[in-house]
Each structure stands twice: as C-alpha cells, then as structure tokens.
Chain A
C-alpha cells in the first residue's frame, strides 16, 4: 500500500509538471534562461546518477569489479563510436552475457 501511494503521489506530481506548460504557457520564451538551462540538465544528471549508483555502489558499499563495469565500458565505447542507442544496448548486453558465461 505504501509503494502504491508513493507511485500515486509521483504520478500526480508528474502530471502537474507535464500539463503546466501545455495548459498555461502560451509563450515558452517567458521561461528564464537559467530555468531553461537547469531543466535541460535534468536528464543527463538523473541518468548519470542512476548509472553511477548502480554500477559502482552496492547495498553494502563498493560493487566488486567485474562484468558490470566491463559490460558498461563496452556499451559506453560503442555509444561514443556509433552514436546509436541500439548498437550500445545490443553490444553492451552481448558483452555482459559473454562475461557472465566466462565466469566473471
């Protein structure tokens, strides 16, 4: 029940954010440049925080070096090289599977 309520509050809050500009803002250039900049950085920082948190930290401290780090390194290299989410995802997953099969 607690998790259900958390998701409900997040859903309501997210909807209010989503509808704010659509319903109220006829001239988006009213948004101050600083706010615009800050909002533009939410996605990379949020994703970066989740990546670093799950890749390097475990429940009890540092995650032991292994398939997670190497698999992610492959995905990052492919993403930078190909500039393609599909390639990064596919080759990162393949590398991770091979590393697990290799016993890492």
Chain B
C-alpha cells in the first residue's frame, strides 16, 4: 500500500495559515473525510460535524473524543500482543535481579520492548553499561524510519503535540497513524485519532509490565517463562518475512550470532545485528538495481515504514 500523507503547511493548529490551507485543500492529496472551514481553534471547539452534538466533555469536544475512540478501535486488535509482551518483559525483570520499580520505569520511559529485553539480557550477561546502551539503541534505530514517515503526517500539529506523541510512537501506533492519515485531513481531528490509538496501546503495555513484575516471582521456575521471549519474537517477525533482503539479513544475523558466541558481554547480539543489516542492505541494493533494470520502481519510504512496523515491537 502506498501512502501519500497529507502535507499541511506548518503552523500552530488553529492558526489561520494551517486551517485555511487545509480547508482549501492546499498540499493535501487526500480528498476523503470531512473538510471543514476554519474556526478559531482549540481542541474543545466543535469542528463543525454533525457527529459532534452536545457540549465538550472535560474541555474536549465530542468530535475529538469520537476521533480518539476511532484511533482506539483501529489499534485494538494489536493490544493483546502489547499486553502479552509487557507481561513477558515484566516477568523477566525479577528473574534478572532488577528492581521491580526500575522495570516499570523502563516500560514508561523507553516504551520499546525489544530494546528493554536486550538491556535485561546485557545486565544478566554482566556487560558494561555502554554495551547495554549501544545494543538497545541499535535496536531502536528503526524508529528513525517511522519518524521520517510520520514527519509529514504530523507537520501541522503544534510542537507540544509533536513532542508528546513522539514518545508514545510505538511500531504499531506508527503504522496505524500512517494507514489512517488520509482519512483525517483536519490536523486537529488527526492528532486526536493518533493519540486515541497510541496512548491506550502504551497504557496496556505498562499495565502488562506491572502484572508481569508482580506475577513473575510467583511463577515457578519449572514453567521456564523465559521461553516467551523467543516465542514472542517468532510470532511477531516470521509472519512478516516476505522480502528477500529480510531473509538474507536474518540468515546472516543467525550465523554471526552463533559463530561469535564466545564474545564477552553478549556482544554477539550486537555484532549479529550489524552484520545482518549490512548484508541485507547490500542484497537489497543489488535487488533494487535488478528491479530498475526491469523498469520496476523501488520501494517508497512509506512502504518501507509500514513493512517495518508489521514486525515491530
């Protein structure tokens, strides 16, 4: 699916520039969804839809509540995975001898499960802090791709919204935002839709972690709860493996992780990831050159971000 995100000239929401340009459709490729004339904006303003009847609730208009609810419904099918993964991470925290509050703090502050687990594994391996940090940040470098794709989608949002939403942009929230951006050309409605999906998703993740932290010590060792880590990643990643470069990168990663198992501090994971990325990129460029030679277009950034988000955590 190729997304053409709506580009709305920058400006504070509700400023004449932003809303008027939106109302006239300037720079917006999406013609579906309501296009409302500008009124002095606040999130409590009724933005002119028949769907918004009655007064604001908690200072927020009913239409914005409806948009947030739509965001929640869009991301709801992905929430069990978030809860289960949060639970798995939380259960690992006491096993690794990490303070439960620190584990909970990680889920609130980092909001990225794979990297949080990599930190736990590094700690268990006795790795220096710098290795734990660098490995986690390499894993989280994927967010740069979502961020780049979301730039135009968020361009008309006020700065405080951009800064706030950035923190809760999980893989899943990012892809939902990208997929539905065209349906919400109005930047105010769009930001409430995005918030309505992202915030509950992160909340579920945090609650899952809390339950895992509490239940972790109760779970008997014989249950081997650690199996949930590879199981979760298999379940998330394998269904998305379609591109040849993914398979090449994965194969190289697996071989290097095993071959470099003697490296100290769990460095084999980082070395494996980097090797896989380098090999996969080289393969993709070669495949791209072949596609071009056949007259086929290369993959767009939005396509790449969506594919990435299919398997993200």
Q: Is B truly associated with A?
A: yes
Measured between beta carbons, the chain B residues less than 8 angstroms from A61 are: 261
A28-B301, A72-B230 as given contacts; A14 in contact with B238, CB under 8 Å: no
Tell me, rounded to whole Å, the shortest Cβ–Cβ distance linking A55 to chain B. 5
Cβ of B41 < 8 Å from any Cβ of A?
A: no
Secondary structure at the B interface, as helix, strand, loop or mixed, is helix
Tell me, rounded to whole Å, the shortest Cβ–Cβ distance linking B313 to chain A. 7
Q: What band does the interface of chain A fall in when counting residues whose beta carbon is under 8 Å from B?
A: 35 or more
Measured between beta carbons, the chain A residues less than 8 angstroms from B129 are: 2, 5-6, 9
A7-B102, A100-B224 as given contacts; A46 in contact with B234, CB under 8 Å: no
Tell me, rounded to whole Å, the shortest Cβ–Cβ distance linking B169 to chain A. 5
Secondary structure at the A interface, as helix, strand, loop or mixed, is helix
Q: Are B284 and A37 in contact (CB under 8 A)?
A: yes
Q: Are B285 and A34 in contact (CB under 8 A)?
A: yes
A-B contacts besides A26-B7, A47-B233, A48-B254, 12 pairs, CB < 8 Å: A14-B110, A22-B150, A24-B151, A33-B288, A33-B298, A39-B142, A42-B141, A42-B145, A46-B139, A85-B236, A88-B238, A89-B231
Q: Which of A8-24 contact B (CB under 8 A)?
A: 8-11, 13-15, 17-24
Interface of A with B (CB < 8 Å)?
Answer: 2-11, 13-15, 17-29, 31, 33-34, 36-57, 59, 61, 67-68, 71-72, 75-76, 79-80, 82-86, 88-89, 92-93, 96, 100
Tell me, rounded to whole Å, the shortest Cβ–Cβ distance linking A78 to chain B. 9
List 8 interface pairs A-B (beta carbons < 8 Å), by A numbering.
A4-B99, A19-B162, A33-B298, A41-B246, A44-B253, A44-B311, A75-B231, A82-B239
Q: Are A19 and B266 in contact (CB under 8 A)?
A: no
Measured between beta carbons, the chain A residues less than 8 angstroms from B250 are: 44-45, 48
Q: Are A42 and B139 in contact (CB under 8 A)?
A: yes
Q: What band does the interface of chain B fall in when counting residues whose beta carbon is under 8 Å from A?
A: 35 or more
Contact of A89 among B226, B232, B257 (CB under 8 A): B232
Residue of A18, A22, A61, A72 with highest tally of chain B CB at under 10 A = A22
Tell me, rounded to whole Å, the shortest Cβ–Cβ distance linking B253 to chain A. 5
Q: Are B140 and A44 in contact (CB under 8 A)?
A: no
Instruction: Give the nearest-CB partner of A23 in chain B.
Output: B162
Measured between beta carbons, the chain B residues less than 8 angstroms from A88 are: 234-235, 238-239
- B113-157 vs A, Cβ < 8 Å mask (1 yes, 0 no): 011111101010100010011001111111111111111101100
